[in-house]
Amino acid sequence: MTPRVLVVVPTYDEVDNLESILDRLHASVPEAHALVADDGSPDGTGQLADKLAARDDRVHVLHRGAKLGLGRAYVAGFRWAREHGFDVLVEMDADGSHAPEQLPDLLAALRTADLALGSRYVPGGAVRNWPAHRQLLSRAGNRYTRWALRLPLSDATGGYRAARAELIDRLPFDDVASQGYCFQVDWAWRAVRAGARVVEVPIVFTERTWGRSKMSGSIVREALVRVTVWGLQDRLAERLPGLVRPPVPARAGRREAGQHE
């Protein structure tokens, strides 16, 4: 039986991008469904999503009422997906930076993996239209994350990824509070520590054409602080077992489950 695919698309003020990205998604993977998780966009994104859903039964809308953050949007979307019986969950931005035309490559990787990460920093991956300082920040952040967490990934902060629903069920998303870069790092690290089969698939990331990036200094600072703390806790837990409590590990049997880079 063909797995049921749900693409979770968080939105906040994406009225200029939403219809185009959903059209491209369904041109690339016609059988995929999309869940627009809108955080009460004042520009009418939620209302547009309702109109699109009314004329296409592959489009669904989750109204969240307020801007609660990327991490919580994905957690809510993951939860909705499992309640509605989807087998594969995808994270995708609404602004066009994640090309729907590359989604078939991520889905194909799940034939032998539990989590497929769209990676800009493996051979074949690339970034387009980013200023030099953004590229430097992203590359440095990923190198630091790889070292601090001993995480065998080249691009742990990227937000274009696909996962088997069984993996989502195994991870304790109910205690995830981090956002932006940090949310992506958090759950990739949990997946690796849970023994999941994680692969990186090269993608071309293109900076948005319309609207403003949601990335902020506070999101970057959060990532730096949290990754540093997690890394220190992990190392101390090895040296002082029983005295230092490491970061929450992935656990089996949990059903709880749900700015870009």
Label residue 162 exposed, middle or buried (CB < 10 Å: 0-12, 13-18, 19+): buried
Residues across the chain? 261
How far apart are alpha carbons 103 and 253 in whole angstroms? 29
pLDDT of residue 242: 62
- Collapsed DSSP state (helix, strand, coil) of residue 57: coil
Sheet holding 59-63, edge to edge: 59-63, 33-38, 5-11, 88-91, 161-164, 115-119, 198-202
How far apart are alpha carbons 228 and 144 in whole angstroms? 9
Topology of 5-239 in CATH? Spore Coat Polysaccharide Biosynthesis Protein SpsA; Chain A (3.90.550)
**pLDDT band, very low/low/confident/very high, at 251 (cuts 50, 70, 90):** very low
Name the residue among 257, 59, 69, 217 with its Cα closest to residue 134: 217
To 10 degrees, what angle do helices 18-28 and 45-55 make? 40
For residues 35 and 91, the answer to whether their CB atoms sit within 8 Å is no
- Collapsed DSSP state (helix, strand, coil) of residue 108: helix
Q: Over 90: is that where the pLDDT of 255 sits?
A: no
Least-confidence region, from 49-58, 206-215, 224-233: 206-215
Element counts in the chain: helices (H) and strands (E): 8, 9
For residues 234 and 151, the answer to whether their CB atoms sit within 8 Å is no
Q: According to DSSP H, which parts of 4-131 are helical?
A: 18-28, 45-55, 70-83, 103-109
Q: Over 90: is that where the pLDDT of 260 sits?
A: no
What value does the CA radius of gyration of the chain take, rounded to a whole number of Å?
18
**pLDDT band, very low/low/confident/very high, at 254 (cuts 50, 70, 90):** very low
How far apart are alpha carbons 139 and 196 in whole angstroms? 24
For residues 110 and 162, the answer to whether their CB atoms sit within 8 Å is yes
Residues 6 or more apart whose Cβ sits within 8 Å of residue 105? 201, 202, 203
When mean pLDDT is compared over 17-31, 135-149, 164-178, 227-241, the highest value belongs to 17-31
Predicted structure pTM score: 0.87
pLDDT of residue 129: 87
For residues 29 and 104, the answer to whether their CB atoms sit within 8 Å is yes
Delimit the domains of the chain by residue range. 5-239
> 13's torsion region: left (phi>0), alpha (psi -120 to 50) or beta?
left
